[in-house]
A = this chain, B = another copy of it.
Amino acid sequence: MDKILRVHMGPEQEPYCTTEPVGEYAGLGGRGMTSAIIAREVPPLCHPLSADNRLVLAPGLLSGSAAAMSGRLSVGCKSPLTGGIKEANSGGQPAQVIARLGYAAIVLEGQPADDKLYKLVIDRHGAQILPADDLRMLGNYDTVAKLTSAFGEKSCCLSIGPAGEMKLGAATIACTDMEQRPTRHAGRGGVGAVMGSKGIKAIVLDDTGMSRREPKDPDRFREANKTFVAGLKRHPVTGQGLPAYGTNVLTNVVNEAGAYPTRNFQTGRFDQAASISGETQAETIKARGGQVTHGCHRGCVIQCSGTYLDEKGNYVTKQPEYETVWSHGGNCGIDDMDAIARLDRLDDDLGLDTIEMGATIGVAMEAGLAEFGDAERAIELVQEVGKGTPLGRVLGSGAGVTGKVFGMERVPVVKNQAMPAYDPRGIQGMGVTYATSTMGADHTAGYAVTANILGVGGTVDALKPEGQIELSRNLQIATAAVDATGMCLFTAFAILDQPETFQALIDMINAFYGLELTADGVTELGKKILKFERDFNERAGFTARDDRLPEYFRTEALPPHKITFQVSDAELDTVFNF
């Protein structure tokens, strides 16, 4: 991981690749790398679909090593959805493979002069740019099938679906999992549209012949990794809840807390939540012979994933995540798990962010395009995106654009990115994260559900403003650091509760790189990344006024707690006081 691959797409010249030493970006990984490159190299006022934007793929500091859970990929750019900096984070195979191929980052630059499509093929011999017009407007499943048949079962892929080719605001970049299925997505902020604007349909990676990245101090590393894994196994969330039920274990929890955004954030409790809970989902999957415990990348020990089969036992999609089950489920008044799984598959295939799409359909339903609860119509609406109809393009542009086009006031977005599965009135700490994150409304940016609901990392009353700023600030800093390591964010549950597991992570980094990083050093890393991002956003025109929830979260009281968002603007403006 000592080099950067730059892919020059034009328009002055035919596309070509160059490789350079990691240079000034040495020592950065994951989100640290993507945000540094974007903040330094992208003109903050450029059009996100222009040649001036860059798309950066960066494995984490520990990706490609034997470290458990180290397979997360950071994807950075100026976001077509938010207009600010973006890091979208994905599981799947690519991070480990890119790291083993020795690349600290792959940077897509420029734009082809024509509208041809290309694929980028990278193996131990180097990188090639090849035509890919035969893949035009194929879904991710067909795209990956074709590429796998051409490049072999040992390859893995990043690809965009029709949504990315159409350059839509909700377009993702799909990453294949260990079974070469495009089920893992760099989902948020329209990163797929930027890949589409670069004319790259897919990136095929093959690390055959490359070996695992080796630590400087193998013994210390092995020991730390063992302690780290033991901590994950011991924690009730990472050791029991997630493996047994997947992320969807949260449906009952958040619904019970009265913070489950239902029917476009009209209420905080969904009467039919039990039908789509993780517990029900796991039973259904088991009864049909699917997997309920499964990892998305080599080295995963939490195994929160699974496979969802239809009634006849045929594969439909991976086990839908909590956020997806919520967005296409409760948020649209839909309680049909099979329909939700079909929507998840559709999103994955078209290359659409499930959170943005579910939130968008919720807005569309309130606008009268469908009845809340009408699953078949919801499926038709997502299918419209694939057809590229005007309606489909509107929906694929996300909740903000859909709200504008249909003249809606109640549109749950911050910085034009849709809110995920936690109502900011029912979990006020999440409201702080949504409002202030450099990413737009993003639960992963500072997951206050921990202390607000789960009692992880302490306890802060979810319904009161007190303590939420500090909670969100600390989580945002910690998350930025974790996102730099390549570690799955779910390790944070154990890290927050178990000092020895946190220390083990630091020990792994130190043993790998021959460093003497401390906990304070990790905090400093997180702060540094956030400052890069915040600075970019300021230069792109963001102010404190963008760090706000839509007005109606302050005026509409959310049932059942009948509560509005209570954290003051003045307090929100202190989140980045560090």
Residues of chain A having any CB pair with chain B under 8 Å: 43-47, 49-50, 52, 80, 166-169, 193, 196-197, 389-391, 393-394, 397, 401, 404-409, 539-543, 545-546, 548, 550-552
Contacts and interface: CB of A to CB of B under 8 A. Distances in A.
Label chain A's interface by main secondary structure. Answer: loop
Contacts of A550: 47
Contacts of A407: 49, 166-168, 193, 196-197
A43 B550 CA distance: 12
Contacts of A539: 545
B409 A405 contact: no
B541 A545 contact: yes
B409 A393 contact: no
Contacts of A543: 541, 543
Contacts of A404: 80, 169, 397, 401
Nearest to A167: B407
Complex A-B, nearest 7 residue pairs according to Cβ-Cβ distance, in ascending order? A167-B407, A541-B545, A390-B391, A390-B390, A393-B405, A47-B409, A49-B409
Contacts of A394: 390, 393-394, 405
A78 to B, nearest CB: 11
Nearest to A545: B541
Nearest to A43: B551
Given A46-B551, A397-B405, 15 more contacts: A47-B550, A49-B407, A52-B551, A196-B407, A390-B391, A390-B405, A393-B394, A393-B405, A394-B394, A397-B404, A401-B405, A539-B545, A540-B545, A541-B542, A541-B546
- For this chain, the copies found in one complex come to 2
A93 to B, nearest CB: 29
User: Which of A46, A397, A407, A546 neighbours the largest number of chain B CB atoms within 10 Å of its CB?
Assistant: A407
A406 B167 CA distance: 8
A406 B80 CA distance: 12
Nearest to A398: B404
7 contacts: A45-B551, A46-B551, A47-B409, A49-B408, A196-B407, A390-B405, A541-B543
Contacts of A52: 551
A552 B52 CA distance: 11
Nearest to A549: B45
A552 B401 CA distance: 23
A484 B113 CA distance: 49
Contacts of A397: 404-405
A548 B50 CA distance: 16
A176 to B, nearest CB: 25
Contacts of A542: 541
A47 B556 CA distance: 14
A47 B393 contact: no
The winner among A43, A391, A393 for most chain B CB atoms within 10 A is A393
B551 A50 contact: yes
Nearest to A196: B407
A407 B192 CA distance: 12
A201 to B, nearest CB: 15
A50 B553 CA distance: 13
Nearest to A405: B393
A431 to B, nearest CB: 15
Contacts of A80: 404
A385 to B, nearest CB: 11
Nearest to A52: B551
A50 B166 contact: no
A80 B400 CA distance: 13
A167 B539 CA distance: 32
A145 B45 CA distance: 48
Contacts of A169: 404
A540 B394 CA distance: 26
Given A390-B390, A391-B390, A551-B50, A545 B405 contact: no
Contacts of A166: 407
A236 B551 CA distance: 51
A386 to B, nearest CB: 15
A576 B23 CA distance: 42
Given A391-B390, A551-B52, A45 B545 contact: yes
A568 to B, nearest CB: 13
A39 to B, nearest CB: 15
A218 to B, nearest CB: 49
Contacts of A540: 545
A541 B541 CA distance: 8
A117 to B, nearest CB: 14
Nearest to A193: B407
A173 to B, nearest CB: 16
Given A405-B397, A541-B543, A45 B390 contact: no
